[in-house]
Amino acid sequence: MNETPFLSAISLTMLHVLIQLALIVRVLLRPHRDPASRIAWVVVIVALPVLGMLAYLLLGEVNIGRRRIQRMRAVLARMPDMPAAAGADARNPRPDIPERHAHLFRVGRSIGGFEPIGGNSARLLADSNAVIDAMVADIDAAREHVHLLFYIWLPDNNGRQIVEALKRATARGVTCRAMADDLGSRLMIQSRHWQAMGAAGIRLARALPIGNPLLRALTGRIDLRNHRKIVVIDGRITYCGSQNCADPEFRIKPKYAPWVDAMMRFEGPIARQNQHLFASDWMAHVDDDIADLPRRPIPPIPSFPPGLPAQVIGTGPTVRYSAMPEMFESLIYSARHELLITTPYYVPDDSMQLALCASARRGVATTVVFPARNDSWIVGAASRSYYGDLLAAGVRIFEYVGGLLHTKSLTLDGEVMLIGSANMDRRSFELNYENNILLYDPALTADMRRRQQEYIARSRPVTLNEVAAWPMKRRLWNNTIAMLGPVL
């Protein structure tokens, strides 16, 4: 009897078990992983011995690659501090924030180090096309530099309008830097328009370039993306919100159109905080040192006394763990009268879900608006698995039926607002680079609240009886997808 094949089989089995055990130990020792996530990954590794181990190696850890982390840390070490006093003068005074809201801005400061700063003006733009029109006008009026970063930049009508505006600015001597996520903006990056911008003298960069997908997977996760939307012009004008550089018809996913976004145009010292965020992203990918730009004196700007206080909050996988969830939960727990939220993607952890339920239970008028049709069937199913508990706690839920509601906004007691790129899901909280602006201004918050009410007017309410009547097949599907949340 030949025992060699038998012994070889035993050796392979033992090797497989050892690798499996090593990965399980790694799962248990990884920092910043909640128990549900640990359990989920252990089950996957045990239940699917080969596929489970491969899945964990590819998707189980938030890792953008050792070299990228080292470079980003080196860049951040060179970036200047942005103290509250920077730019504070008679026209740009220190922020006047009521004590009842001051703790929210302290949370924001703990994330990115930016202090809230006053002396800003802002306005909510009418719609996606109005945003592009305003950006083009500002680029056409630029004198020194234009910096922009988008997760998705499409070679469609609006995308090409920005391209042509950048070309015109470069032709008259304005320094233009444009960065786009290598995955989200691949259609633009692979198009003739990208090449034409480079030929025109526009400085270009691809955020988190993928390269060879197979080799890239060995050094870091491909799905860690730069989801930010940043535009800074001459260090005094900036934009923040949910809108990518594309037509609202969003032709790569036309059946969900129109994409419904909200974007704000800011003018004042807050632009320098977004400048700081852009510069750190840019220098992490390009050998072009612009670290001093955020501290340069900005050109004379109109007086906005006292101006609204605002604060940039930038998060990502190389920023401290749980940063954006802490910001959201701090806002939710601070609500005393009204909390109104719009988000296209809702896959919370337990603490986020409980915070919303607690808000409604203590008598706060708590409302969340989701899109009725989600471009991600996975997120759509997972989101609906949370409806029952939210509704039972007294949270009002609406589903927007006029397109894909892509706006990420939160208004608090009619005075405080958070707007930006971050969704209320694990991807935004743990995997993506995001940028938001937190501000205190009752008038501007009222504008955003009116926009949110317009969304509600175009939505249908979801009731507890309706959710209770869902067939078992649907509830089983939603809950199964949601169960995978800690793994995805």
The 10s digit of each residue's pLDDT in 420-445 is 999 999 889 988 999 999 999 999 99
Whether 229 is catalytic is yes
Domain that holds residue 453: 323-483
Instruction: Find tokens 């970036």 and name the residue.
Output: 79
Is the pLDDT assigned to residue 275 strictly greater than 70?
yes
Average pLDDT, the chain: 89
* Catalytic entry in 138, 349, 413, 425: 413
Query: Where would I find the beta strands (DSSP E) of 329-486?
Result: 338-342, 346-347, 365-371, 396-400, 404-405, 409-412, 416-420, 424-425, 434-440, 459-462
Whether 181 is catalytic is no
Does residue 238 share a domain with residue 115? yes
Does residue 463 share a domain with residue 364? yes
Mind listing the pLDDT tens digit for each residue in 310-366?
999 999 988 888 899 999 999 999 999 999 999 999 999 899 999 999 999 999 999
Does residue 463 share a domain with residue 404? yes
Q: 210 pLDDT band (50/70/90 cuts)?
A: confident
Mind listing the pLDDT tens digit for each residue in 29-62?
877 767 777 777 788 888 887 787 777 777 777 7
* Catalytic entry in 247, 276, 408, 425: 408
Q: Give the per-residue pLDDT at 277.
A: 95
* Catalytic entry in 227, 285, 349, 441: 227
Whether 247 is catalytic is no
Listed residue (244, 222, 431, 411) closest to 324, CA to CA: 431
Write the DSSP symbol of residue 119.
E
Q: Considering the domain boundaries, does residue 316 fall inside one?
A: no
Does residue 331 share a domain with residue 297? no
Whichever domain contains 431, its CATH number is: 3.30.870.10
Number of domains the chain is built from: 3
Does residue 77 share a domain with residue 38? no
Is the pLDDT assigned to residue 302 strictly greater than 60?
no
Listed residue (274, 270, 250) closest to 261, CA to CA: 250
Whether 408 is catalytic is yes
Does residue 275 share a domain with residue 141? yes
Q: Give the per-residue pLDDT at 146.
A: 98
